[in-house]
Structure 1
Amino acid sequence: MSLAGITLDKLVIILLLAAFLIGPERLPLLAEKLGTLVRSLRDMAGGAKDRMREEMGPEFDEVDWKKLDPRQYDPRRIVMDALKDDPEDFSTAAAKASVATVSGLPQRPTGPMRFDDEAT
């Protein structure tokens, strides 16, 4: 298991070095402070979860949180899927353009774009 590139053997070495550098006098105090910090972070996370459940109501339990995990989105796969799609042929694009014109949507200007010399 690796957390941010730190494997278990590297973590043990870091802990041994920290224990050696900190010294046996201050190590119990720092361990106690670390435990307090971890407990307070766990309590804050639990409080945030309870508040979300309160505010969202029964829908909170129905949400599939795994679908909202940003780690599942692979940009390479998204691009490959977009490139695999067949581009529209000209007749389909023309049909859509005529539907847009009939439906009253604003038409795109044709010809060269106007240029304003006084614009900043």
Structure 2
Amino acid sequence: MFDSVGWPEILVLIVVGLFVLGPERLPQGAAWLGRTIRQVKEYATGAREQIRSELGPEFDELRKPLEDLRSIRNFNPRSAVTKHLFDGENPLDGLTNGDGYLPKPPDLPKPPQRPLAPGERPPYDSDAT
């Protein structure tokens, strides 16, 4: 829940708390906030346990789609395509250079280019455009 809150944000909240509550009431406000957060966590845990006890084994069936959604955070398109197209076996195993990429082919020499004569049209490839 608080994964995105870092030290700079906490420092800003403390400074704002000093201005709003004042230095005398800030410790009481922090204690109240701590108790409230703890109480909310206890309510959430109690609700989860109550649902688990009422649903029994069906709770795990409901939980699986949620875990699948959480796994989307770590989604890797390359491994997903490999898994679904090749049943988890990478057809490029043994051909790659260890980092998952094919080795770069050697550079082929380019044909020599000559300058165009005056009035000569440049080559045009209708398939490439």
TM-score, normalised with respect to structure 2: 0.43
Return the structure number with greater helix share: 1
TM-score, normalised with respect to structure 1: 0.45
